Amino acid sequence: DTGVSQDPRHKITKRGQNVTFRCDPISEHNRLYWYRQTLGQGPEFLTYFQNEAQLEKSRLLSDRFSAERPKGSFSTLEIQRTEQGDSAMYLCASSLMIYQPQHFGDGTRLSIL
């Protein structure tokens, strides 16, 4: 069990630029989740994949956000035309079954200049 891996750990970019984050879940886990965490708050759900299918998206996920999970393995989260309000920690988690705990990566911290 190598754990959930996220890359990069930190991303600093200028407002208006596009950014992409990657998540590698635990290999046998077919469920993959993205969350966003702002300072002093609990994580908030963004989107969920079961294998390669994106089955739910939060209202937090505006049109500037897109996520993919090709072939049901790693996942990417892209933010286009970044805004100041996008500054947050983006967390990825995976699990095997619905009643089993989600395992989290260390997150990608996004800072918008």
Partner 1 sequence: AQSVTQLGSHVSVSEGALVLLRCNYSSSVPPYLFWYVQYPNQGLQLLLKYTSAATLVKGINGFEAEFKKSETSFHLTKPSAHMSDAAEYFCAVSDHGSSNTGKLIFGQGTTLQVKP
Residues that bind partner 1 (CB under 8 A): 4, 6, 31, 33, 35, 40-45, 48, 50, 55-56, 91, 93, 95, 98-99, 101-107, 109
Q: How far is the CB of 112 from partner 1 (least distance, A)?
A: 18
Tokens representing 92 are 């990825």
Q: How far is the CB of 53 from partner 1 (least distance, A)?
A: 11
- Whichever of 13 and 96 has its CB closer to partner 1, that residue is 96
Is beta strand 10-13 parallel, antiparallel or unpaired with respect to 108-112?
parallel
In terms of phi and psi (left: phi > 0; alpha: psi -120 to 50; beta: otherwise), the region of 107 is left
Classified as helix, coil or strand, 84 is helix
- Whichever of 80 and 109 has its CB closer to partner 1, that residue is 109
Rounded CA-CA distance 89/35 in Å is 8
DSSP secondary structure code for residue 64 in this structure: T
Q: How far is the CB of 14 from partner 1 (least distance, A)?
A: 22
- Whichever of 52 and 106 has its CB closer to partner 1, that residue is 106
Tokens representing 26 are 């635990």
